[in-house]
Amino acid sequence: MSHPAKASEFLEDSAKSKWHDETLWFVRDKRDTISKSIPEWEQLRELASQIKDNVLANLDQYLIEFEKNAKANNIHLHWAKDAYEHNNIVLSILQQHQCKAIVKSKSILTEECHLNPFLEENGVEVVDTDLGERIVQFLNQPPSHIVLPAIHLKKRDISEIFHEKLQTEKGNEDPTYLTHAARVHLREKFLGAKVAITGVNFGVAETGEFVVCTNEGNADMGVHLADVHIACMGIEKIIPRRKDLGVFLRLLARSATGQPITNYNSHFRSPSPDKEIHIVLLDNGRTEQLGREKFKNSLKCIRCGACMNTCPIYRRSGGYSYGSVVPGPIGSILSPGLDLKKHSSLPFASTLCGSCSDVCPVKINIHEQLYEWRQEITKDQGTNAKSISMKIANGIFAVPFAYKVSGAMMRGALKILPDSITYSGLNTWGKQRDLPETPKATFKEWYKKNRS
């Protein structure tokens, strides 16, 4: 289904879509307040953008440096061309350790590779330990937001899920009570897992270490109790030096949730005695995106989710309407790069208001890239109703007399035509909106009368 069709489904529950819109706006508002409390905010964004430009221009060298230093730290490093290779590498590590149950902290990359269903098909129990991710996992759903995976669910929904899965009291919606129940449930899973999987927020080329950011400490709990840590990392997550973290960590938490800092920023450099760390470095279309001059900037993304929280389309249509692992404005740039046919409606899921670009902590020109994708997509579509009407409009706008006459005709027609014609199936714009009342005078007439 295309984005508009799925968005229509979401909008059927108007109370829910209103609540979703307001909840995300609240997060956006927090981001605004906290970013304004830092006088150097814009310099930080500029610096982050330049560091990422440098990374993308020299990605091959930074990756080689990272590999060399990680190996020197006794980390096993694996390269995966695509999701298939990535998943098989992870599985082979689990098989070497005869591991049948793993705990996993939040990782969009493993969602991208559909790692959970792959491991489950191969007899491995996967437990997502981020609370929001565990909730959607109980429902067999993917996350609907990259930072707030269960943002589409209300307390009442979660209470019902926990009653069914964790036998909590029926109807008890108290967040503290529900969180305690989840904690008891997850602790048992942590204690039983030999292998823990995490994502990676930043890989430092200079030292070969990597940093994982969580608010719940679940990545640390999993990793410290397990014998083996598998870190799944996209190749674009490299930063050159450790001191660059000072820029990105300040931007990330503030942009994501309006917090001054993420609760746990854990550095992993080398394994403890008798333990193992593996990093699986994944390409999966990233080098191809790097080769697309107009879209390569999208690889600067640090997955803060701010562009989603601010986007009027995302807020009103929900994460699932995008049908892709990374939804919202940045997902609408990345997903067509992976499968243009499947995701061709996504670049149109935007008002092009530019709010996404304004909040992006690494200054990605998101709305401009969405516009570029639209041009790429429509270029190959040939003649259709929209292109014909645009050609007609172009002809009318180019000739003042034609513009004047057609304007007068349309204003007159709109007054007398019945709704069955004005709002017929051809007027898709009018499906959700009323046409404005026609003005009594044109701007030119008004100007002539009032300019003195």
> Which residues sit at the interface with ligand SF4, rule CB under 6 A?
255, 301-307, 330, 359-362, 364, 366
Please work out, in degrees rounded to the nearest 5, the angle formed at the alpha carbon of residue 186 by the alpha carbons of 163 and 116.
95
In the complex with ligand SF4, the residue whose CB is nearer, 7 or 301, is 301
Structure tokens belonging to residue 22: 């307001």
Nearer to ligand SF4, 13 or 358 (CB): 358
- Which of these, 252, 250, 212, lies nearest to 229 by C-alpha position? 212
| Pair of tokens at residue 237 | 């997550």
Q: Whose Cβ is closer to ligand SF4: residue 89's or residue 313's?
A: 313
Q: Which residue, among 222, 360, 45, 250, has the nearest Cα to 333 in the 3D structure?
A: 360
Q: How far is the CB of 31 from ligand SF4 (least distance, A)?
A: 10
Please state the three-class secondary structure of 358-376 as a single string. HHCCCCCCHHHHHHHHHHH
- The nearest distance, CB 420 to ligand SF4, in angstroms, is 43
Give the CB-side neighbour count of residue 102, counting CA atoms within 13 A: 30
Q: For residue 157, which of 300, 330, 16, 2 has the smallest C-alpha distance?
A: 16
Beta carbon of residue 100, minimum distance to ligand SF4 (angstroms, whole number): 35
CB nearer ligand SF4, residue 143 or residue 305:
305
Tokens of 6: 């799925």
Give whichever of 200 and 302 is closer to ligand SF4, judged by the CB atom.
302
By beta-carbon proximity to ligand SF4, the closer residue of 323 and 361 is 361
228 or 304: CB nearest ligand SF4: 304
CB of 329 to ligand SF4, least distance (A): 6
Give me the least distance between CB of 237 and ligand SF4, in Å please. Answer: 12
Task: Supply the minimum distance, in Å, between the C-beta of residue 299 and ligand SF4.
Answer: 10
Q: At what angle do helices 14-36 and 245-257 cross, to 10 degrees?
A: 140
Give least dist CB 81 to ligand SF4, A: 24
Question: Helix, strand, or coil here: 277?
Answer: strand
Report the length, in residues, of the chain: 452
Task: Give dist(CA 345, CA 322) in Å, integer.
Answer: 9
Q: Are 314 and 28 in contact (CB under 8 A)?
A: no
Q: How far apart are CA 393 and CA 397, in angstroms?
A: 6
CA distance 247 to 391: 48
How near is the Cβ of 369 to ligand SF4 at its closest, in Å? 10
DSSP secondary structure letter of residue 273: T
Quick check: 73 and 209 in contact, CB under 8 A?
yes
Rounded to the nearest 10 degrees, how much is the dihedral formed by the CA atoms of 97, 129, 106, 17?
Answer: 150
Which CB, 69 or 317, lies closer to ligand SF4? 317
User: How far is the CA of 421 from the CAs of 217, 384, 387, 424, 431, in angstroms?
Assistant: 59, 21, 21, 5, 12
For residues 189 and 82, the answer to whether their CB atoms sit within 8 Å is no
Question: Based on CB atoms, which residue is closest to ligand SF4, 159 or 310?
Answer: 310
CB of 368: closest distance to ligand SF4 in angstroms?
Answer: 12
- Of the pair 110, 257, the CB lying nearest ligand SF4 is at 257
